[in-house]
Chains A and B, each alone.
Chain A
Amino acid sequence: MNNIAFNIALPLLAAFLLPVIHNGSAKASRLVGPFVLLAMCWFAAAYFIFIEHPVALALGGFLPPLGISFHLDQLSLLMAVIIPLMLLLLWPYTNREGFREEALLLLLAGASSGMALSGDLFNIYVFYELLSVASFGLAASTHNGAAFAATFRYLVISGLGTVLALTGIGLIYTQTGTLNLAHIGQLAAQLDNNVGLAAFALIVLGIGVKAEIFPVNGWVPEVYATAKPRISALLAGLISKLAVLAIVRLLVVAYADTDALSLLLVLGILGIIWGELSAWRAKDLKRMFAFSSIGQLGMVLVAFSIPGEAGMFAGLAMMLHHLLVKPALFMLTENWSGSISSLTGAARQSPLGAALFILFALSLIGVPPFPGFWAKLIMVTGLVGADDSLYLLALGILLTATVIEANYLIRCAIQLYAPADENSSQSAKHGRLTLSISSALGVVLIISLFSITPLGNKLYQIAAEASNRSLYINTTLSNAQVPALRKIQ
């Protein structure tokens, strides 16, 4: 009995029942979450390993485009494997206070999987909304005034984004008369006008709130600075990527040859400039990483805006690299909060933490031979190959941003290894759990360093499949065998 729908059903079921289980036995309720996440890993991995062609799964027994379908290809299944793995890694094992946070994390897991797998625009919106509401609760779970204020700001901006995204989806529905992504792709000619483009812009701005896209990312620094490191790691590492992926799916099926690419490119460039310059000026580590993740997501957006397979390849490489590195860096900010100058000599107190910081910082900058270098190299190749002056401008900005990144990260590293002075904080030591989480991610980084060629080949294969528009459309629409479907086309 294996069905990918379990990856949505199980976490939601567990979250609904968690309060009841907790009233019965608090100990049992602590086992539920990890067990469900392991099961989700199992289901998604079984699909990911054995799938040969993309498959469309009709939910509720109604074939697309009438019913909602999940699109299972290597990319969506890869995300469906990564989501529970990431949550298992960042699970609050030592948190004795509440089942509510665990319930929210399970809801987040279900919503994220839904967003990764769904092939229906409105269904993606529903899961996006669920993911937003869960992340509000998690961001506010620090229980202090600053976190509440930051979360409130986040809530207002997210609310605005939700309205914009819904407006965009409504516009697409008025233009095409359908909500299924593949069906929209088939009718994409009807979206190749100003209204269609405006609809795309609204969806980018709306869903872009989670993807930290340039004009709607005002919430990022405060939320990441006040939330628990685990939650910041989750939001910056995983959730932002799912929002990017939703936008990219829509881009590939319906807007691949339009001005939508330039829109993403310009927003991405602005994000890089704003994020990296703010990170350079930031005075504390958490805000620095928050701004740097805005800059990094700008780079991801620029990479995805390169037309064709090259763009998908570069975007995925940048995205997966950031997904690996940023959570580890955010975990290291535990006990390294406050001004950067108080970190002087912190390497003496937490040698492993400082070493991991150096490792991830070097990869983030893109120093060879670390995976970050290869990701940036793929992106540079793509930008040069795009053969357009705007892309060359983006290339220049990417290289400048790399220099700025190197400057502020190395500045921090020098601070860590400097001899301690009167400014330095007394307790810059990391907890054992934090160190093991970061080390686990570090081990993955080093393994991928030594298997860069097979990884690159696999990623290229995934990118080629994901950027193949007609394959996406045919998987959902033509492989369905119900006469009703032919009738309405």
Chain B
Amino acid sequence: MRNYSALLFASGLAFLLMVIAWQFTIGGAPMLIGNAILQQAADELGAANLVTSVVLGYRGIDTLGEIAILFTAATATSLVLSSISGQRSRPAPNTAQSGTILISSSRLLFPLLLTLGLYIVLHGHLTPGGGFQGGVILAAAFFLPLLAVPGHGVNHSGLALVEGFSGAAFILIGIIALFQGNAFLQPFMGHGAMGSLFSAGTLPLLYIAVGLKVGAELSGLLANLAEIGPAHPVAEISVETQSVKGSAHQ
């Protein structure tokens, strides 16, 4: 029964997509909002990177939503993992397995990745990139030691602190604008000279908050997953899926 309905749904969807493919004209889409933003964004926000003026200016609340989604995913994952990780002990750091080359190259890469990540975060309003991209690189820098030496300790409460306060900073910058009599998340502090590091008002500050939050969140998430370890007993899993199947057939 379930298979038939899935087939029906898939064919309906295929029909829908065919209608679109048949009638859709490529090119010539009206660029109402796009063109208007292209014209005025530089004057209104003073950011050399136009994408940043959309992401943090015109659609700032969307970006707040996006960082909240990442935070939610990390929280939900650790909520699910907390029931599993409670039963098992963390493996002890094991440097012998990794070998000299892996360890020393991870140590060599760490400052380079950190610099690159920070550079991309700080120049988000000037060049392509920004908080999300730079944040991912920062997370990679902190995750590298964990890959090289499984069981390498991670300071979870420190990460939670960075994560919490950077997320709060984003919202608080928005609320400060509110208390100045402007709208929530309205950029302030002037424009500065376009193209210089200190320009575009609060946008770079928002991107620093995003970068730190994304970096801390992803490293925490990856560390959480790494600490669960690959050694989940196979027998336990198969028993659980069987009981699930049993309950689904009831």
> Using a CB–CB distance below 8 Å, which chain A residues touch chain B?
1, 3, 5, 8-9, 12-13, 15-20, 23, 57-62, 65-68, 98, 100-101, 103-104, 107, 110-111, 114, 122-123, 126-127, 129-130, 133-134, 136-138, 140-141, 143, 145-146, 148-149, 164, 171, 173-180, 183, 190, 193-195, 198-199, 201-202, 205, 215-216, 218, 222, 283, 484, 487-488
Across the two chains, which residue of chain B brings its CB closest to A174? Answer: B29
Q: Which of B22, B168, B172 has the most chain A CB within a 10 Å cutoff?
A: B168
> For A5, what are the chain B residues with a Cβ–Cβ distance below 8 Å?
174, 178, 183-185
18 further interface pairs, Cβ-Cβ under 8 Å (given A9-B175, A20-B161, A61-B182)? A15-B68, A19-B164, A57-B183, A66-B37, A100-B75, A107-B71, A122-B59, A123-B61, A123-B65, A127-B65, A129-B69, A133-B69, A137-B72, A137-B80, A143-B83, A146-B248, A148-B240, A193-B23
CB B210 to nearest CB in A, in angstroms, measures 12
Q: How far is the CA of A283 from the CA of B250 in the complex (A)?
A: 9
Task: Tell me the bound Cα distance from A300 to B130 in angstroms.
Answer: 44
When distances are taken between beta carbons in the complex, the residues of chain B under 8 Å from A487 are 36
Q: Are A198 and B19 in contact (CB under 8 A)?
A: yes
Residues on B with C-beta less than 8 A from A141 are 79-80
Is the pair B179, A8 in contact by a Cβ cutoff of 8 Å?
Answer: no
Query: Measured between alpha carbons, how far is A488 from B69 in the docked complex, in Å?
Result: 33
Specify which chain B residues have a CB less than 8 angstroms from the CB of A145 in the assembled complex.
240-241, 243-244
- Are A68 and B183 in contact, CB atoms less than 8 angstroms apart? no
Give the docked Cα–Cα distance between A58 and B175 (Å).
Answer: 14
- Minimum-distance CB pairs A-B, first 8: A137-B76, A177-B30, A61-B186, A16-B167, A5-B184, A177-B32, A126-B65, A145-B240
Q: Beyond A20-B161, A126-B66, A195-B24, is A98–B58 a contact (Cβ under 8 Å)?
A: no
B24 / chain A contacts, CB cutoff of 8 Å: 171, 174, 195
Given contact pairs A3-B184, A130-B65, A140 touches B244 in the complex (Cβ within 8 A):
no
CB contacts (< 8 Å) of A111 on chain B: these are 65, 68
Residue of B nearest to A127 (CB): B65
Q: Which of these, B5, B32, B80, contacts A176 with CB under 8 Å?
A: B32
- Contact, CB under 8 Å: B161 / A67: no
CB distance from A12 to the nearest CB of B (A): 5
B248 to chain A, nearest CB (A): 7
| Contact between A59 and B79, CB atoms less than 8 A apart | no
Q: Is the CB of A215 within 8 A of B12?
A: yes
Q: Which residue on chain B has the smallest CB distance to residue A274?
A: B5
Q: Which residues of B contact A (CB under 8 A)?
A: 2, 5, 8-9, 12-13, 16, 19-20, 22-24, 29-37, 40, 44, 57-62, 64-66, 68-69, 71-73, 75-80, 82-83, 157, 160-161, 163-165, 167-168, 171-172, 174-175, 177-179, 182-187, 240-241, 243-244, 247-248, 250
A100 contacts B82, C-beta separation under 8 Å:
yes
Q: A16-B163, A60-B60, A129-B65 are in contact. Are A178 and B72 (CB under 8 A)?
A: no
With beta carbons under 8 angstroms apart, the residue of B37, B73, B171, B186 that contacts A13 is B171
Interface of A is mostly: helix
In angstroms, Cα B250 to Cα A67, docked, is: 51
Main secondary structure of the interface of B (DSSP, over half): helix
What are 18 A-B pairs at a CB distance below 8 A?
Answer: A1-B178, A5-B183, A23-B157, A57-B183, A60-B185, A60-B187, A107-B72, A114-B65, A126-B62, A137-B75, A145-B243, A177-B31, A177-B33, A183-B32, A183-B33, A195-B24, A487-B36, A488-B33
Cβ of A123 to closest chain B Cβ, rounded Å: 6
Shortest A198–chain B CB gap in Å is 5
Residues of A within 8 A of B40 (CB): 66, 484
Complex CA gap A393/B69 in Å reads 42
Asked if residues B174 and A98 are in contact (CB atoms below 8 Å), the reply is: no
Q: Which residues of A contact B185 (CB under 8 A)?
A: 5, 59-60
List of A residues within 8 angstroms of B77 by Cβ: 137
Are B19 and A194 interface neighbours, CB within 8 A? yes
B60 touches A59 (CB 8 A): yes
CB of B61 within 8 A of CB of A60, answer yes
* Among A101, A133, A199, residue most surrounded by chain B Cβ atoms (within 10 Å): A133
Distance between Cα atoms of A123 and B183 in the complex (Å): 17
* Complex contacts, B240 vs chain A, CB 8 Å: 145, 148
**Partner among A16, A177, A222 whose Cβ is within 8 Å of the Cβ of B29:** A177
Specify which chain A residues have a CB less than 8 angstroms from the CB of B59 in the assembled complex: 60, 67-68, 122-123
Residues of B within 8 Å of A175, CB to CB, are 29-30
Let me know if B161 and A1 touch, CB within 8 A: no
Q: Which residue of A lies closest to B69 (CB)?
A: A130
B residues in contact with A174, CB < 8 Å: 24, 29
A residues near B248, Cβ cutoff 8 Å = 146, 149, 222
CA distance A39 to B61 in the complex (A): 20
* Contact partners of B23 in chain A: CB under 8 A: 193-195
From the candidates A60, A133, A149, A171, name the one contacting B76 in the complex (CB within 8 A). A133
Residues of A within 8 A of B13 (CB): 164, 205
Q: Name the distance in Å between B51's Cβ and chain A's nearest Cβ.
A: 15
Tell me the smallest distance from the CB of A335 to a CB of chain B, in Å: 18
**With a CB–CB cut-off of 8 A, which chain A residues contact B71?**
15-16, 107
Q: How far is the CA of A111 from the CA of B62 in the complex (A)?
A: 11
Chain A residues near B64: list those with CB within 8 A: 8, 12
Contact partner of B82 (CB less than 8 A), chosen from A98, A199, A222, is A98
Please judge, given known A-B contacts A1-B179, A101-B79, A193-B23, whether A19 and B244 are in contact too, CB under 8 Å: no
Which chain B residue has the least Cβ–Cβ distance from A101? B79
Residues of B within 8 A of A194 (CB): 19-20, 22-23
Chain B residues, CB < 8 A from A59: 60-61, 183-185
Alpha-carbon separation in the docked complex, A19 to B168 (Å)? 12
| Structural contact, A100 and B58, CB atoms closer than 8 A | no
Closest A residue to B164 by beta carbon equals A20
A130 touches B182 (CB 8 A): no
